Amino acid sequence: MEGLARIFAGEFNRSTLSIQAPDSSGSSYVVTPTCARCHDIYISGALTELTGSGDMIRCRLADPTGVFDLVIGGVRSDIADSFQRLSVPSFLTVIGQAQLYRKNGQCKLSVSPDSVQVVDRTVRDIWVLRTADLTLDRIEYVADLLRGKMVDDKIRACIEHYKITQQSLQEYVSIVESALASVQIPSNLVEHTPTIDPRELIVGILKEKQGTSGIAIDEVIALTNLRCVPEETSRGVINNLIRDDEVYQPQKGIIKLL
């Protein structure tokens, strides 16, 4: 089960590096300044603008650090229809592909959505918390490499491209801090429940939140983390539910009860 990259808009929009996938698929990855490799990504925020129809729809999805540009081509009529039914503003989670191209010497960044789900403020805040954790983990890894504590040729190439220093890393710590300042998690969601059954919890989350198109696996993981269930435990339960044909994956990174 391959994870989805999580990235704040404030970092994603500073990206200027893309690399080809190591396989023969011809796909590419956007590499961000903290060295995240982004192909399939999971983002969340408020839909603030939706324009166009037919062959091209453009949207702006704002998280606490910036705005993602979403572009839906006419060949994805199913996704286009989903977006045209959305209200502005509304909180969303989106799974899509990170894209970078160059025009007139400038880098243009966007996300091509594969799925979208309307959520509430709490889910958006959970996404912020998890994305902050992952961003800080990357920052710490890069800082250790700069201190000579390890060797990683892939990360070294990223560091050289962005001319990363200990001082410049602080900019991305500030991005995380600004994101966390926006979080408003109700206290009743973080109560410790040591006797909870992880399988029962996950099935309950699916029943409540999967909607008509399912729910992102990463979103389920985030919700179980709030109830003190370790990520490894939750992923194991999800794998077992898939194996037992109790849930299925309508598309990559999404699960739904049968």
Check whether residue 16 and residue 117 sit in a common domain. Answer: yes
- Output the pLDDT for position 21: 77
Minimum mean pLDDT range among 61-70, 165-174, 208-217: 208-217
Residue 256 — left, alpha, or beta (φ > 0 → left; ψ -120 to 50 → alpha)? Answer: beta
pLDDT of residue 195: 59
Co-location of 102 and 164 in the same domain: yes
Within this chain, do residues 179 and 228 fall inside the same structural domain, yes or no?
no
Q: Cβ(57)–Cβ(112) under 8 Å?
A: no
pLDDT of the residue at 226: 67
Q: What is the pLDDT of residue 26?
A: 66
Q: What are 20's strand-pairing partners?
A: 28
The answer on 96 and 25 residing in a single domain is yes
CB distance 30 to 18 below 8 Å: yes
CA–CA distance, 67 with 69 (Å, rounded to integer)? 6
Q: Which of 184, 217, 237 is the last residue of a domain?
A: 184
> Does residue 43 carry a pLDDT above 70?
yes
CB 180 within 8 A of CB 129: yes
What CATH number is associated with residue 228?
Answer: 1.10.10.10
- Structural domain including 225 reads 187-257
pLDDT at 99: 93
pLDDT (tens digit, 9 = 90+) per residue, 141-164?
999 999 888 888 889 999 999 999
How many other C-beta atoms lie within 10 A of the C-beta of residue 40?
17
* Cα distance between residue 12 and residue 107, in whole Å: 12
**Residue bearing the bigger pLDDT, 22 or 235:** 235
pLDDT at 3 over 80: no
Return the higher-pLDDT residue of 74 and 123: 123
Band of the pLDDT at 76, cuts 50, 70, 90?
low
What's the pLDDT at 1?
35
Provide the domain count of the chain.
2
- 24 in the same domain as 113: yes
Query: Among 130, 154, 184, where does a domain finish?
Result: 184
| Same domain as 110, residue 57 | yes
Residue pLDDT, tens place only, 98-149: 999 888 878 899 999 988 989 888 889 989 988 999 999 999 999 999 988 8
- pLDDT of 231 above 90: no
Question: Domain with 180 in it: what CATH number?
Answer: 2.40.50.140
Nearest CA among 156, 151, 132 for reference residue 63: 132
Contact (CB, 8 A) for 154 and 142: no
Residue range 194-206, pLDDT digits in tens: 457 888 889 988 8
Is 174 in the same domain as 198?
A: no
Residue 185 binned pLDDT confidence (cut-offs 50, 70, 90): low
pLDDT higher than 80, residue 193: no
In this structure, the answer to whether residues 129 and 249 fall within a common structural domain is no
Q: In a 3-state reduction of DSSP, which class is residue 108?
A: strand
* Same domain as 130, residue 93: yes
> Do 191 and 167 share a domain, yes or no?
no
* Predicted pLDDT at 2: 46
Last residue of a domain, one of 135, 158, 184: 184
